[in-house]
Amino acid sequence: MGAAAIDAQLLRVATLLERDPAGAVRAATQLLQEHPGHPAALLLLGSAQRGVGNAAAARAAFAQLASAQPDSAPAHFEHGRALALEGRAGEARTSLERAVALAPDLAPAWGELAALYAAGGEWAACDRAYARFVSLAAPEAHLGEAARALAGERLSIAEALLRRRLAQAPTDTGALRLLAGIAAEHEAYAEAEALLGQCLQLAPGDSRARFELVRILRAQQKAEPMLPLLARLLALDPHNLHYRRMQAAAYDLLGRNAQAQQILRALLEEFPDDEFVWLDYGHSLRTAGQTAAAIAAYRRATQVRAGCGQAWFSLANLKTFRFGADDIAAMRAQVARPELKDSERLQFEFALGKALEDERDFGAAFAHYARGNALRRAAAGYDPDSTTRLVERSEALYTREFFAARADFGTPATDPIFIVGLPRAGSTLVEQILASHSQVEGTRELPDILGFALELGAREVPGRAPAYPQSVGRLSRLEATALGERYLAQTRAHRLIGRAHFIDKMPNNFLHLGLIHLILPRARIIDVRRAPLACCFSNFKQHFQVGLYFSYSLEDIGRYYRDYVRLMAHFDAVLPGRVHRLQYEALVADLEGEVRRLLQFCGLPFEERCLRFHETARVVQTASSEQVRRPLNSDGLEQWRHFEPWLGPLKQALGDLAH
């Protein structure tokens, strides 16, 4: 038989592979009987045997091929794949390593090796192999249209394309990762984490998915689980700027500022013209109370790039900082640029609002605050009705009878002290007072209770009946106790000095008081409240970088405050005395009296140092960090009155609470 005839038979076998693998086995076998050891026929026979599910026969064909062609990378690759399918991991690895030694650019072999290394727990080798696979294979070229839609912030189009792809190919890791990014944009973090978890199960070496998971954890301020993920990423790429910035951010969130600053100083030596490193450094210095150095770092970021809106806003957000005339002119020049992105523009608007408020030009200041809020509100998609519905469901579930029937639920630990309420109500001040006590450690706004609520279905999904908080009612005693123990375990990383009590200062935990009481029935709960108009307007002029979408409209803030007061009144009725209410204005008027009552509620002896809270050196990670480092004053009590001419929508939303 001539070469042309052999080629024709090989083409026939190849054609049969897809539609009739059993026929391909017969045709390839016949061809090999006529031409024993023919390399192409052996390759086709092995592929056909794999197609009919005969792993042993496939492996035998590929073994013969690899033996006959010891310098053929494809032969060793196919032999390795066949061995892996039979579960012969060690032999498979040897064959695949031989394949990539012969052909370093053989992308599929690197992908197979990554899976084998992962199965053997060789994570560093897995990550290196998968990185090599990605660099060679461009495995996500088919997702280009979805990626472009996502980059252009056309989220609904990108989501539709990705869901269509996943309906066809549920194991497409690239589609899973991009879809997780969209979920994160909607702050559906539990869904994003689940999608990335699925992605990393399918491709354990996927560093892009691992870094996306780090970013999502960072958005939720879940610092502790970030560190092992980052350790693995840095083992693969120890000089990666983004990984190192995230590592510093994790240390800062855990209150380990010295470690964070060490990383950031090293980065500044390598990347002196990166404004984001200067920003990170400024944030770390600020939380540690190094205000002058923080200002210098923020200034350096504006020098690196004048359009770095976040740096200008960070200066404004110090509260005690005052802009000069040149600063105001520079910021006005930036907002006049038509090409300035909205994400940068809103930062300048809030910063200019603060600058002009300090200049007592209240009308112009309000206009800037309003424009910044309008930009943020348009991107947020906040539904104020969802908060009202949650309050209504909570009132329906959490009755006296509900709690009486669950009197033995939860862990008896007395460690946590929860401070709840609205942001800008004085909660950071109360935290600083308590953290000045020898038995209390201040931490920060911990995300753990919100995380539990999300696990229990707190996020409303269009088209589905809301699950939360009714899902809390289905918890058994053992499940509720386990959640309480889990909370204590998860928050342990923030307890750096080992005091008997610690503070969780997440303000919107007021929405989850029923869950807190059920899992931690002996934890103290303090509601810090400020006069409605003062508190609500203070929220309006504060740009919160993440979440708190209720704060970007006067009407939304007013409604949210009403829902807050309503829910707290409900818990006062069904759990009398469970929550200690501390009025900010009363604290300013009678510091010692209110502090004595606060400490008595917490079961703590009075300590004079709590009255000298401004002398307590500690990490403070909120917008009030500079204010609580000064003695208590009444400067901010009536500040809102300068803006009263523009607060009609807020008063209307507050209703009788505005009086």
- The pLDDT tens digits for 356-401 are 999 999 999 999 999 999 998 887 778 899 999 999 999 999 999 9
The verdict on 128 and 213 lying in the same domain is: no
**What is the reported pLDDT for 527?**
98
CA angle 40, 133, 80 (to 5 degrees): 40
**What is the reported pLDDT for 499?**
94
**What is the reported pLDDT for 493?**
86
Closest among 477, 469, 473 to 453, alpha carbons compared? 469
Q: Are 442 and 416 spatial neighbours (Cβ–Cβ below 8 Å)?
A: no
145 within some domain: no
**What is the reported pLDDT for 625?**
46
pLDDT tens for each residue of 580-590: 999 999 999 99
**What is the reported pLDDT for 655?**
94
147 within some domain: no
Q: What CATH number does the domain containing 417 carry? A: 3.40.50.300
Longest dimension (CA), the chain: 106
**What is the reported pLDDT for 13?**
60
pLDDT at 1 over 60: no
**What is the reported pLDDT for 10?**
67
The verdict on 635 and 647 lying in the same domain is: yes
Mean pLDDT of 27-38: 74
Distance CA 266, CA 500 (A): 36
**What is the reported pLDDT for 624?**
47
Of all residues in the chain, what percent carry a pLDDT higher than 70? 94
142 within some domain: no
The verdict on 486 and 340 lying in the same domain is: no
Which domain range does residue 502 map to? 384-658
Peptide bond into 469 cis (omega under 30): yes
**What is the reported pLDDT for 2?**
59
The verdict on 391 and 376 lying in the same domain is: no
pLDDT tens for each residue of 484-541: 999 999 999 889 888 999 999 999 999 999 999 999 999 999 999 999 999 999 999 9
Mean pLDDT of 323-339: 95
Distance CA 544, CA 540 (A): 10
Q: Are 407 and 492 spatial neighbours (Cβ–Cβ below 8 Å)?
A: no
For the chain, the domain total comes to 3
The verdict on 374 and 439 lying in the same domain is: no
31 within some domain: yes
**What is the reported pLDDT for 42?**
74
CA angle 550, 255, 234 (to 5 degrees): 100
Q: Are 510 and 449 spatial neighbours (Cβ–Cβ below 8 Å)?
A: no
Q: What CATH number does the domain containing 261 carry? A: 1.25.40.10
Domain boundary among 137, 167, 183: 137
Domain boundary among 106, 137, 168: 137
The verdict on 369 and 401 lying in the same domain is: no
Confidence of residue 623 (pLDDT cuts 50, 70, 90): very low
Domain boundary among 82, 104, 137: 137
pLDDT at 153 over 70: yes
pLDDT at 453 over 90: yes
pLDDT tens for each residue of 239-262: 999 999 999 999 999 888 899 999
The verdict on 472 and 587 lying in the same domain is: yes
Q: How many helices (H) and strands (E) does the chain have?
A: 33, 5
If you write DSSP's letter for every residue of 49-65 in order, what string do you get?
Answer: HHHTT-HHHHHHHHHHH
Distance CA 291, CA 306 (A): 21
150 within some domain: no
**What is the reported pLDDT for 617?**
67
pLDDT tens for each residue of 554-577: 999 999 999 999 999 999 999 999
**What is the reported pLDDT for 311?**
96
The verdict on 534 and 649 lying in the same domain is: yes
The verdict on 110 and 84 lying in the same domain is: yes
Residues 6+ apart with CB under 8 A from 208: 134, 177
Distance CA 338, CA 376 (A): 18
168 within some domain: yes
The verdict on 89 and 164 lying in the same domain is: no
pLDDT at 654 over 90: yes
The verdict on 240 and 199 lying in the same domain is: yes
346 within some domain: yes
The verdict on 370 and 225 lying in the same domain is: yes
607 within some domain: yes
Distance CA 105, CA 582 (A): 67
**What is the reported pLDDT for 327?**
96
Closest among 414, 419, 417, 391 to 582, alpha carbons compared? 419
